[in-house]
Amino acid sequence: MRKILVAGNWKMHGSRAETASLVEGLTAALGDAPVSEVAVCPPFVYLVDAAAALEGSEIRLGAQDLAVEPSGAYTGEIAGTMLRDVGCHFVIVGHSERRSLYGETDGVVAAKYRAAQRDGLVPILCVGETLEEREREVTEAVIERQLRAVLDSAAIASFERAVVAYEPVWAIGTGRTASPEQAQEVHGFIRGILAADDDTIADSVRILYGGSVKPSNAGDLFSMPDVDGGLVGGASLDAGGFAEICRAGG
Ligand code: PEP
């Protein structure tokens, strides 16, 4: 049985004080033993504070991006080893905002996925189609291409230490959520691609849904057989609401 994972992507929001009160509010709302596995991904500069505030809690820490290189003359970049050093367990790779705004290709995403594992982090690999691609009915081809780039570069065994997030671009930050059936269809497709390489690994990998998850729709989404939790943006910035989403997975 796959345990539901709910990860909050705080993007470039908040301040030091707001991060502190969000972590405090979340730990208070969830208690000592959250029913789902829970992770929060604050901006880089607040990771150290968040790690300290999360000490003794079961909530895990994640980062929103990492460098491909392990160290060196790469001004402005943050290495996976540094993220481990400050207490990160997860790192998001291939978020659609990184792909579309910062030109991250499938090749770069695959390199970041491998870098994350090399550096001892669990990548949350995001895949998803744009609205235009959905309307052209090429959703499956897009997802398969994005996934294949990673499978060709890192092999199926790597998915024992990875999480996949299906994030339809048209649903991210738009308030427009995929229906549970739409999500299930793509999640089942993703699991099928992985199963073609290894049934057992495909069955154990967690596939999160992301795109306007909120307290009112989380339960229905998480009840689908291949939806193993959520990657939550906007709604994770409210401690009470995010805690409700986490409880929807219990
Ligand atoms: C995200 O940031 O990955 C996301 C899914 O955002 P939102 O929940 O706001 O749509």
Q: What is the mean pLDDT of each run of 10 residues along the chain (250 residues)?
A: 94 97 95 84 98 95 98 98 98 98 98 98 98 96 98 97 97 92 98 98 98 96 97 97 91
Rounded to two decimals, what is the model's pTM? 0.97
Per-residue burial over 74-98, b = 16 or more CB atoms within 10 Å of its CB, e = otherwise: eeeebbbbbbbebebebbbbbbbbb
Burial class of 29 by CB neighbour count within 10 A (0 to 12, 13 to 18, 19+): middle
- Amino acid letter for position 151: L
Ligand 1 pocket test: which of 93, 99, 177, 231 has the largest number of ligand atoms within 8 Å of its C-beta? 231
pLDDT of residue 31: 82
- Asked if residue 234 has its Cβ within 6 Å of ligand 1, the reply is yes
Q: Catalytic annotation on 137? A: no
Question: What confidence score (pLDDT) does residue 175 get?
Answer: 87
By alpha-carbon position, which residue is closest to atom 3 of ligand 1?
A: 233
Ramachandran quadrant class, 78 (left: phi over 0; alpha: psi -120 to 50; beta: rest):
beta
Separation of CA 95 and ligand 1 centre (Å): 10
Residue 116 vs residues 6, 27, 75, 82, 99: alpha-carbon distances, Å = 19, 27, 19, 11, 17
- The pair phi, psi for residue 100, each rounded to 5°, is -85, -35
Give the pLDDT confidence score for residue 33 in this predicted structure: 65
Tokens found for residue 133? 């691609």
Q: Which residue owns the Cα nearest ligand 1 atom 6?
A: 233
The partner residues of 37 in beta bridges, in order of sequence, read 5
Task: Answer whether 229's CB lies under 8 Å from 6's CB.
Answer: yes
Half-sphere exposure of 64 (CA within 13 A, CB side): 20
Residue nearest to atom 7 of ligand 1 (CA): 233
Told to judge if 95 belongs to the known catalytic residues of this protein, a careful annotator would answer yes
Bridge partners, residue 122, by sequence: 90
DSSP conformation class of 35: S
Q: Using the mean position of ligand 1's atoms as its centre, give its distance from the Cα of residue 196 in Å.
A: 29
Does any ligand 1 atom lie closer than 6 A to the CB of residue 97?
A: no
CATH topology of domain 6-237: TIM Barrel (3.20.20)
- 196 burial level (CB within 10 Å; 0-12, 13-18, 19+): exposed
Q: Is 80 in the pocket of ligand 1 (CB under 6 A)?
A: no
8 with 232: CB under 8 angstroms?
yes
Q: Is the CB of 184 under 6 A from ligand 1?
A: no
Atom of ligand 1 nearest to the CA of 213: 8
